[in-house]
């Protein structure tokens, strides 16, 4: 048997987490390899947050123009999906080549295939066998496949971002982040949108009352919701597709030109043969300890969306986890534990929905003594000046410490304003101190003083 190629560290996945670990370790002079079975650069830059936000940029203009009709807007601007998609491509088309060039420049060896474990520290990739002192799994997530007849008919979020033109009607299966954001995108371009959701409501990890308010805003936009419904099969008709679902024992069916599977995402780890590598995992990802090290194979680390850590599956968390993994690979004798600051998250619907910290029910379960402040504020100046009806908040403040336990926002700039709450929570700034800060007025951020 010939000699295997050996590396200090083999990284699987070229998104923000994998790329960061590979670069950090290469900079320290280690021999590094990195592999990906898709285009280099990961989900966020190629087919996730970045291209999605470019598309949402135009819908923000449509939304503002719609609300200002007769208040300065005499006629609606004309828009073109085709032109918008061409503009979006300018952001993503160069990502894979730029990522590969940067990694090669750093002296990292590249592989274009998903490796498989042959034992605890040996991988098979591109028909070659390689050994590594340490292996880092940073493979991210992928769309969850629907296990129903007709599963081959729906497109997923990747495909949505490549649509050459929009159809007249669309059905989204799943009312999570992606389903809600893409439904809003499509509806603002005049698509007739229906969302079918298994749960009794949308966005189950966000505050129920604000989600209800967002649902109202979505219905004003023309989006139709069907809850408590399990999709049982999808059929192809001559022109459209038919989605058949079971709603509390009743059969319902809806037709549309395109069906989109937005039923959720799962760790992209099935191709790795983890059992052979003695790497324990669950449907939430690689089982890791507080050092982001596999609990069953000490040669393996996992970071980003593929790890079953306390970090949410959000892009900013991948950078934090990548930093910890890099530190622990480079300084194994002084391992660093991962500690998560308050994790803010946002749904880029219009209006945005955003949160940080505890939900009301979580704070109650923890037995915390807190005061809730909540309000709908369409009469606040910032909402009135742009004719926005949907603006609301809920905050939870600890009665003993005066610290903010949780903040939940619905509004045009909620995804930005939530960062001020995140900062206040991270730096342990009491609510009363926030009220005394001097912010610019009239800016959205200044409104937080009325929310605590």
pLDDT in tens, 55-79: 999 999 999 999 999 999 999 999 9
The pLDDT of residue 405 is above 70: yes
Domains of the chain: 5-143+266-330 (3.50.50.60), 157-263 (3.50.50.60), 345-450 (3.30.390.30)
pLDDT in tens, 145-154: 999 999 999 9
The DSSP call for residue 72 is T
Q: How far apart are CA 394 and CA 408, in angstroms?
A: 5
The pLDDT of residue 179 is above 80: yes
The pLDDT of residue 1 is above 60: no
pLDDT the model gives residue 408 = 98
Residue with tokens 């828009």: 79
Q: How far apart are CA 206 and CA 353, in angstroms?
A: 8
pLDDT in tens, 251-262: 999 999 999 999
The pLDDT of residue 409 is above 60: yes
Cis peptide leading into 351, omega within 30 of 0?
yes
pLDDT in tens, 28-39: 999 999 999 999
Per DSSP (E only), the strands in 257-344 are 258-261, 265-267, 281-282, 285-287, 300-302, 307-308
Q: How far apart are CA 134 and CA 242, in angstroms?
A: 49
Q: How far apart are CA 289 and CA 310, in angstroms?
A: 10
Side by side, which strands form the sheet with 352-357?
345-347, 352-357, 404-411, 392-398, 370-376
**Mean per-residue pLDDT for 265-290?**
97
pTM of this prediction exceeds 0.85: yes
Virtual torsion, Cα 127, 119, 136, 104, nearest 10 deg: -30
Half-sphere exposure (Cβ direction) of 163: Cα atoms closer than 13 Å: 23
**Helix, strand, or coil (residue 289):** coil
pLDDT in tens, 197-240: 999 999 999 999 999 999 999 999 999 999 999 999 999 999 99
pLDDT the model gives residue 382 = 97
**Mean per-residue pLDDT for 71-92?**
97
**Which of the four pLDDT bands, split at 50, 70 and 90, describes residue 312?**
confident
**Mean per-residue pLDDT for 438-443?**
96
% of the chain beyond a pLDDT of 90: 97
Give the residue among 246, 240, 245, 279 at the shortest CA–CA distance from 258.
240
Average per-residue pLDDT for the chain: 96
pLDDT the model gives residue 325 = 98
Q: 259: which 2 tokens? A: 């069906």
Do the Cβ atoms of 327 and 319 come closer than 8 Å? no
Q: How far from 380 is each of 215, 387, 390, 427, CA to CA, in Å?
A: 21, 10, 11, 28
Which H or E run contains 105? helix 95-105
Give the residue among 85, 103, 97 at the shortest CA–CA distance from 34.
103
**Which of the four pLDDT bands, split at 50, 70 and 90, describes residue 3?**
confident
Give the residue among 108, 82, 104, 105 at the shortest CA–CA distance from 30.
108
The pLDDT of residue 360 is above 80: yes
404-411 and 392-398 strand pairing: antiparallel
Cβ count within 10 A of residue 251: 9
Do the Cβ atoms of 449 and 437 come closer than 8 Å? yes
**Contacts of residue 427, Cβ cutoff 8 Å, sequence gap at least 6:** none
The pLDDT of residue 446 is above 60: yes
Paired with 281 in beta bridges are 286
**Which of the four pLDDT bands, split at 50, 70 and 90, describes residue 4?**
confident
């Amino acid at each position: 048997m010939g000699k295997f190629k050996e590396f200090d560290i083999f990284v699987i996945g070229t998104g923000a987490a994998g790329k960061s670990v590979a670069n950090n370790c290469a900079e320290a002079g280690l021999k590094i390899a990195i592999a990906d079975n898709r285009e280099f650069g990961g989900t966020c830059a190629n087919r996730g947050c970045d291209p999605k936000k470019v598309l949402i940029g135009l819908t923000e203009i449509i939304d503002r123009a719609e609300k200002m009709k007769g208040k300065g807007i005499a006629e609606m601007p004309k828009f073109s999906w085709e032109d918008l998609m061409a503009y979006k491509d300018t952001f993503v088309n160069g990502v894979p080549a730029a990522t590969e060039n940067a990694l090669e420049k750093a002296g990292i060896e590249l592989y274009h295939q998903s490796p498989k474990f042959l034992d605890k520290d040996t991988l098979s990739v591109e028909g070659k066998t390689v050994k590594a002192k340490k292996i880092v799994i940073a493979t991210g997530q992928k769309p969850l496949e629907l296990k129903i007849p007709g599963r081959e008919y729906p497109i997923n979020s990747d495909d949505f971002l490549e649509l050459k033109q929009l159809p007249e009607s669309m059905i989204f299966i799943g009312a999570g982040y992606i389903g809600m954001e893409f439904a809003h995108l499509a509806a603002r371009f005049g698509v007739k949108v229906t969302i079918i959701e298994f749960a009794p409501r949308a966005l189950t990890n966000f505050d129920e009352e604000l989600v209800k308010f967002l649902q109202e805003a979505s219905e004003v936009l023309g989006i139709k919701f069907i809850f408590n419904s399990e999709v049982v099969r999808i059929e192809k008709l001559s022109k459209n597709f038919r989605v058949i679902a079971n709603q509390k024992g009743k059969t319902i069916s809806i037709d549309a030109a395109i069906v989109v599977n937005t039923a959720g995402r799962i760790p992209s780890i099935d191709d790795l043969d983890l059992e052979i590598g003695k790497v324990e995992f669950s449907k939430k990802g690689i089982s890791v300890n507080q050092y982001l090290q596999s609990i069953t194979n000490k040669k393996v680390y996992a970071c980003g969306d593929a790890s079953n850590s306390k970090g949410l599956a959000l892009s900013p968390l991948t950078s934090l986890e990548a930093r910890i993994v890099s530190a622990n690979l480079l300084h194994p004798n002084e391992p660093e534990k991962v500690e998560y600051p308050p994790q803010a998250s946002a749904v880029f619907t219009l209006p945005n929905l955003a949160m940080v910290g505890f939900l009301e029910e979580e704070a109650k379960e923890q037995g915390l003594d807190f005061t809730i402040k909540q309000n709908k504020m369409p009469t606040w100046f910032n909402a009135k000046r742009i004719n926005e009806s949907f603006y609301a908040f809920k905050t939870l403040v600890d009665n003993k410490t005066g610290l903010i336990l949780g903040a939940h926002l619905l509004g045009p700039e909620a995804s930005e304003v939530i960062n001020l709450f995140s900062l206040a929570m991270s730096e342990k700034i009491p609510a009363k101190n926030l009220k005394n800060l001097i912010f610019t007025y009239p800016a959205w951020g200044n409104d937080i003083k009325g929310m605590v």
